[in-house]
Amino acid sequence: WKFKRSEWVEQQGPLIFHRVMSYPSLFSLLGEELALSLIERFVCCLLETKGDEKAKAVAEVLEGIMVRINIRDRAQFIRLSYLCSCALLKAGRPEVASELIRPCLQEDFNQAYWFTFCLSAHETAVYKAAKNRCLSKKKCWGDALVLGHRSIAITRRRPHLCLHNYYVSLRHFPLSPLLHLCLAVKYFHVSKVRTNTTKGDSYAYGLHHLSQYYHLRTQQQQQQQQQGVTTKEEKEQQKRQKKCEQEACFNVARAFHELGFLQMCIPFYELALGIAENEDKINLSPFFSSPTSPPPPSSSSSSSSSYMSELVLSPSSPPSKKRKATQEEGGKERKRRKIDEEEKEEKEREDEQEEEEEEWNEEEEEWNEEEEEWN
C-alpha cells in the first residue's frame, strides 16, 4: 500500500481486484475478517485512482460481492457497503448506491452513520431531495441528518450555523440518538470559540443532549434484559445492543476527553472496555457489572447536565483500588526522581565551583612565577 498512487496500481488495480474476487474460496481460505479488511483497503486504494471506466468496473465487481457475502461482523459489512456506495457514486450510479445501503439502515439502528455519509458525499441534487423528504415528514431520519452534515460542509469552520438544521430534523425525529450526539458535539465546538460570551450555556446544552444520547442509545438494551431472551435471533440482537452500549460509553468519554475533563472520561473508558471484555470473561468487578440508571427523556437541560456529572462522580462507581495504588506509587516515584535530579544538580554545581577554583589557583601560580622572573 506504500505504492498505491503509482501508475502500475492505476492500470492493473481493477484487473487484479476482479481476478482475486472471482476466486471462489477466498473467504474460506483467508477468513471473513481478513478477506474483508483486504477488500476494504484495496477499494480505498482504487477510489483514489482516476478514470470513469475503472470506477465502473470496480462498482460492478462490488455489486456481485455484496450479493454473495453473508458475514457475521456487521461493522465490516457496513464499511464494505459504504465503500461500494462510494464506488457507485463515483461511477455515476447514485440510485444503485442508495438502494445498496438502505437495507443496512433498516436492519440496524446504528447504520445511519454510513447512510448519511453516503448521501453527504452526493451532489446538491441529492441534498435537495433529502431536504424535501425531511419536510414531507417521512420517517427517514437518515435523510434528515444530511441537512446538518451538508451545512457543516458549506459553512466550513462555523459550527453554530448548522445547529438550526439539526433542530429542524430533531422536530420530526425526536428519538434519534445520533441527532442528540451531533448537537452535543456542535455545542462543545461552539463553547470553544473565543468570541462566544455564553460558554456556560453552550456547555449546559451540550451536556443535556449528551445525556439524551446516552439514554436513548442504552434504553433498548435495558428493555430486552427485563423481558428476557428466548430465541437465537433475540440473543444476536442482545449482542448488538451490548455493542451499542459500548459505543455510547465511548462517545460520552470522548466528549469529556475533548473538553479536557480527564477525571470524568476515565470511568466511561473503563466501562467501555469492561463491556468489550464481558463477552469473554464472566467474572468482572462490581464497577462494570452495576449499570447506572439513565434519566428520563423529559428532563430539563440543567437536570440532565447535573445527571452527567453525578453519573461519573457517583459513589456507586468509584475508581478501583489497583488504580489508586498505581497512582500513589507513581506519585512517590515522581517525588524520588525530583529529589534525585536536585541532588545531581547540586553535585554538578559543586564540581563546577571546584573546577573554577582550581583554574583560579593555577592562574595565580602562573602570575606569581612571572613576577619572580621579572624580579
Is the pTM higher than 0.75? The answer reads no
Residues 271 and 306 in one domain: yes
Q: Does 327 map to a domain?
A: no
Residues 165 and 181 in one domain: no
328-374: per-residue pLDDT in tens?
677 777 788 888 888 888 888 888 888 888 888 888 888 888 888 88
Residues 143 and 276 in one domain: no
> Domain range for residue 75?
1-107
Residues 103 and 135 in one domain: no
Query: Which range among 36-40, 277-281, 312-316 shows the weakest confidence by mean pLDDT?
Result: 312-316
Q: Does 335 map to a domain?
A: no
The number of CA neighbours under 13 Å toward the Cβ of 184 is: 26
Q: Does 282 map to a domain?
A: yes
Residue that terminates a domain, selected from 301, 317, 333: 317
Q: Where are the alpha helices (DSSP H) in the chain?
A: 7-21, 26-30, 32-47, 52-68, 74-90, 94-107, 112-120, 124-135, 141-155, 163-172, 177-191, 199-227, 232-259, 262-277, 286-289, 301-313, 321-374
Residues 195 and 293 in one domain: yes
Q: Does 375 map to a domain?
A: no
Q: Does 27 map to a domain?
A: yes
Residues 214 and 185 in one domain: yes
Q: Does 71 map to a domain?
A: yes
Q: Does 276 map to a domain?
A: yes
Q: Over 80: is that where the pLDDT of 164 sits?
A: no
> What is d(CA 60, CA 77) in angstroms, rounded to the nearest whole number?
17
Residues 212 and 161 in one domain: no
44-54: per-residue pLDDT in tens?
565 555 555 65
Q: Does 15 map to a domain?
A: yes
In the chain, the amino acid numbered 223 is: Q
% of the chain at pLDDT higher than 90: 1
Residue that terminates a domain, selected from 78, 107, 136: 107
Residues 32 and 157 in one domain: no
Residues 230 and 158 in one domain: no
Residues 168 and 145 in one domain: yes
Residues 155 and 83 in one domain: no
Domain count, the chain: 3
